[in-house]
Amino acid sequence: GQNIDQPTEMTATEGAIVQINCTYQTSGFNGLFWYQQHAGEAPTFLSYNVLDGLEEKGRFSSFLSRSKGYSYLLLKELQMKDSASYLCAVMDSNYQLIWGAGTKLIIKP
Amino acid sequence: GAVVSQHPSWVICKSGTSVKIECRSLDFQATTMFWYRQFPKQSLMLMATSNEGSKATYEQGVEKDKFLINHASLTLSTLTVTSAHPEDSSFYICSARDSAGGETEAFFGQGTRLTVV
């Protein structure tokens, strides 16, 4: 079966760095997405990785290793507004998005 | 990025009535649209995938006669929840992709919070 695993909840301190991991097992791979979702709102796109390596975009970076079925989202210089759920999603061979359950990130002052 | 507009943002309806939710792609042609449902503290659950001009493909366990999806044009898809019941109360989100243009990224609407009383 298809499976996306990510931690349920993480806590970090304002100004610090946090890494949210995602492991996946899917039938085929056409890219991995990270989305941010604030409570009561729709997800917003953060990053897309299809090749191995690190993609940096401001305070957020995303890493992919296809051979390990592994990705992480790195958030630097954490701000209170970064408190949200972070969803990992993999696009399978049918171009369908398979979603992880999301990681709730709590930022403390 | 591309803009997907979903309307209404929230709706309260009486049990037994029907509710229509619209999803529009404002600046691109959405050849494929997806409808999701999200219960509190849970991840997105795909309900159905629709391609313009053809019937929607429903996920297992989703009643196609209850959740009517129409994707009649390249910029508009609608989800109608028929004979709504309190258990249908949820957050419904659409996303759209310009798959004909080779794009893989899907853009999300703002979501619709449905409460059935």
* pLDDT for B78: 95
Distant-in-sequence, close-in-space partners of B60: CB < 8 Å, separation ≥ 6: none
pLDDT per residue as tens, chain A (109 positions):
788 999 999 999 999 999 999 999 998 998 999 999 888 788 888 998 999 999 998 999 999 999 999 999 999 999 999 999 999 999 888 777 888 889 999 999 9
Tell me whether residues A40 and B6 touch, CB distance under 8 A. Answer: no
A42 touches chain B (CB under 8 A): yes
B89 touches chain A (CB under 8 A): no
* pLDDT for A107: 97
pLDDT per residue as tens, chain B (117 positions):
578 899 999 999 999 999 999 999 988 888 889 999 988 767 788 899 988 888 899 999 999 999 999 988 889 999 999 999 999 999 999 998 876 655 566 788 888 999 999
Dihedral angle, C-alpha A70, A74, A80, A84, nearest 10 °: -20
B42 touches chain A (CB under 8 A): yes
* pLDDT for A71: 98
Cis, peptide link before residue B86, omega less than 30° from 0: no
* pLDDT for B80: 97
- Inter-CA distances, B95 with A45, A68, B62, B89, Å: 11, 29, 18, 19
Sheet holding B67-73, edge to edge: B4-7, B19-25, B76-81, B67-73
- Cβ contacts of A87 on chain B, cutoff 8 Å: 43-44
> Which of B10, B11, B19 has the alpha carbon at shortest distance from B84?
B19
Tell me whether residues A45 and B107 touch, CB distance under 8 A. Answer: yes
- DSSP code for A2: -
